[in-house]
Amino acid sequence: MCQGCAQTRYVELRSVPHSPLVERLKLTSRGGPQPTARTMQILRQYDLVGELDKDPRSVVSKLQAIVDRQPSADKLYSLAELNYLGAKKMEGKNEAAALDMYGAAVAHAYLYLFDERFTPTRNPYDPEFRGACDVYNGALENAIRIVRKRGKLLPGSTHTIESESQRWTVTVVTKGGEWHPEDFDRFEFVSDYEVRGLANRFHSYGLGVPLIAVRKKHPSASPTEQFFPPEVSFPVTALLRVLPDEANGSGKAHHCVLELYDPLASSDILLAGRRVPLETDISTPLAFLLNDPRLESVATAGLLHPDRSQKTRGLYMLEPYQPGKIPVLMVHGLWSSPLTWMEMFNDLRSVPEIRDHYQFWFYEYPTGQPFWVSAAQLRQDLMRVRQALDPRQTEPALDQMVLVGHSMGGLLSKMQTVESGEEFWRTVSDYPLTGLTMPPEERQTLSQVYYFRPNPSIRRVITIATPHRGSDFANDTTRWLAQRLITLPEQLVKGQQELYRDNPGKLRDPSPIEVTTSIESLEPETPIFPVLLASPRPTWVKYHNIVGEVPEKGLLGKIAGRSDGIVSYESAHLDDVESELVVDADHLTVHRHPLSVLEVQRILLLHLDELRSFPHAPAPRWHTAAVPPSPAPQPVRPPG
């Protein structure tokens, strides 16, 4: 449950951008960039080696003339490579000339890869084939860097670029995905960053330049807008499509389209009549987003200042809402935040079938308040999201939602799927709620916390290291600390006192209403636990459970006993579930453990398989609460 948050560096800026050409062409060697052995062989064959150091641009011109007379794939590759090397040497001295040569490198690498004249002899197993892809990608990336210096290169814009001997008209467009031109503020290059804070980096190989697009806040009619964190970055792959040339008085006018693809929506494209994989990176943009230090303070604020952190409470998306995709809502635990899910999210999103059929949402809430209060707030927040995204409730994918909860988040998740009846209120009083004396707004709050029905849109719940029967972590010491560290709103304390004063003898002693912090709410003696375990569950929901257990070997294992160090096995275990997996991991790492990630992956794929078997299963109608709230949902405050 206790997650703690130390400042994590998710990415670090590299001293030199990463490129496979660094080693291939010895870009950082003491002797300077050098052609490959096969290019040197071409130069020897045409007696051009001696001119290479004296006048490299002359060598390029002579080789171009040879290619025009006797075209071949190997000479085209050498021409692309020599143009790239010439451009690298020109950078910082003559950027117009460098841009010229980078453009030529892209064009010749493209011809090597796609010119129909070489189809019979083109060999994709030849290392030179991959080398041509790298030259295309590297030259395009460096050309984009030069153009970016001259102004913003953003979707919807057209730029005319004059180089020494050529004129380029470049139109920037978005292709596929849910992002729109107005979403783009700026670009960063994936190659500039090294991922540190994520265990796995998912990078695929093909054509194009992986970029980090940083989103710009703007007025929008999109319902998704309200669910984004302050600044979102997302993956993009840039690919240059060169259109047929038109002659003009000074040489060639090149018309190009710089296409920006969302790699989460497109993994390959049609290019020159062939299906071509894109070069993509979906992990570095995520790590770039997570590097924002403002995100680290959320967990501590939510624990120590639950009243103030209500402003940041709610559901968050890192991608636009996508109709047709099933939501997976991830709910963190005590002293934590959505950051805790990023390892699992990064891994799950790398699986094409999951990426194609699911969208991941994250819930942020004040973890300092009792979990049943947070569960009531989650109930309301899910209603608001549905109203914003699908007010007519016609989107079937939203009725197949999966909840994944770690630690206390598992309790919040489970409470979305049970029927309260009168049993939860009876932990407070034997008198009906309507028979107690209190202000109307207080009655409204207690109604929302203690009376509820299952959410019919939730079809699976996965709980991970969840204290289904409480935790001995909530002992005298932690309760004492919580009472002194967690700042409770003055209105809450006053309201609790007035409730007891105005209803003498009508409230149980002890009562859940007296519980004011999450630490107290997790005591094994808390009366909510047996009620939650025994609550009627709907037939349409399936439950899965993952339990952490510290290995017995080692000092920590001996101290922990059969537990994850925070939650005992007896508390985390459930009998009446579809599946339960025990993972050798402690409480703070169990939801990041590879076996836990694979188990969640298995369950999500199982969910898809079962939906394919029963594609027309009707969804129960949406219910709000057993005791109807007022027409406009009011904020749920800790009762008292």
Question: Does residue 124 have a cis peptide bond before it, meaning omega lies within 30 degrees of 0?
Answer: no
List the CATH number of the domain containing 369.
3.40.50.1820
How many whole angstroms separate alpha carbon 531 and alpha carbon 342? Answer: 33
The tens digit of pLDDT for each residue in 143-191 reads 999 988 877 688 988 877 766 566 778 899 999 888 988 899 999 999 9
Looking at the structure, tell me whether residues 402 and 454 fall in a common domain. Answer: yes
Residue 622 in any domain: the answer is no
Is 410 among the domain residues?
Answer: yes
Q: pLDDT tens, 255-306? A: 889 999 999 999 999 998 899 999 999 999 999 999 987 776 666 566 656 6
Domain stops at, among 125, 148, 171: 148
Query: Which CA distances in Å does 12 have to 96, 145, 436?
Result: 31, 19, 58
For residue 293, the model assigns a pLDDT of 76
Number of separate domains in the chain: 3
Same domain for 443 and 483, yes or no, is yes
Residues 484 and 367: their CA atoms lie apart, in Å, by 16
SS3 content of the chain, % helix, strand, coil (to 5): 40, 20, 40
Chain-centroid distance of CA 48 in Å reads 51
In a domain, 81, yes or no: yes
On whether both 266 and 331 belong to a single domain, the answer is no
pLDDT of residue 510: 86
The verdict on 274 and 318 lying in the same domain is: no
Q: Within a domain: residue 623?
A: no
Which of 83, 115, 148 terminates a domain? The answer is 148
Which residues of the chain, if any, have pLDDT below 70?
A: 1-7, 152, 162-166, 221, 244-253, 296-306, 309, 474-493, 553-560, 615-635, 637-640
- Strand pairing report for 542-548 and 458-464: parallel
Q: What is the pTM of this model?
A: 0.91
**Predicted local confidence at residue 214, as pLDDT:** 94
- Domain assignment present for residue 337? The answer is yes
| Rounded-to-integer distance, Cα 616 and Cα 618, Å | 6
Is the domain of 185 the same as that of 139?
Answer: no
At 47 the pLDDT is 94
- Its domain, for residue 127, covers 15-148
Do 502 and 564 have their domain in common?
yes
- Residue ending a domain, choose from 86, 115, 148: 148
The tokens of 554 are what? 């080692």
- Contact partners, residue 151, CB within 8 Å, separation at least 6: 159
Identify whether residues 251 and 318 lie together within a single domain. Answer: no
Q: Can you give the pLDDT at residue 639?
A: 60
Both 463 and 565 in a single domain?
yes
Q: In this predicted structure, what is the pLDDT of residue 623?
A: 43
- Regarding whether 449 and 479 lie in a shared domain, the answer is yes
Asked, for residue 40, whether it belongs to a domain, the answer is yes
Does residue 341 sit within a domain?
yes
Supply the pLDDT for residue 625. Answer: 41
Question: Does residue 477 fall inside a structural domain?
Answer: yes
Alpha helices by DSSP H, 391-489 = 408-414, 423-426, 440-450, 476-485
Residues 203 and 247 in one domain: yes
Res 473: pLDDT: 80
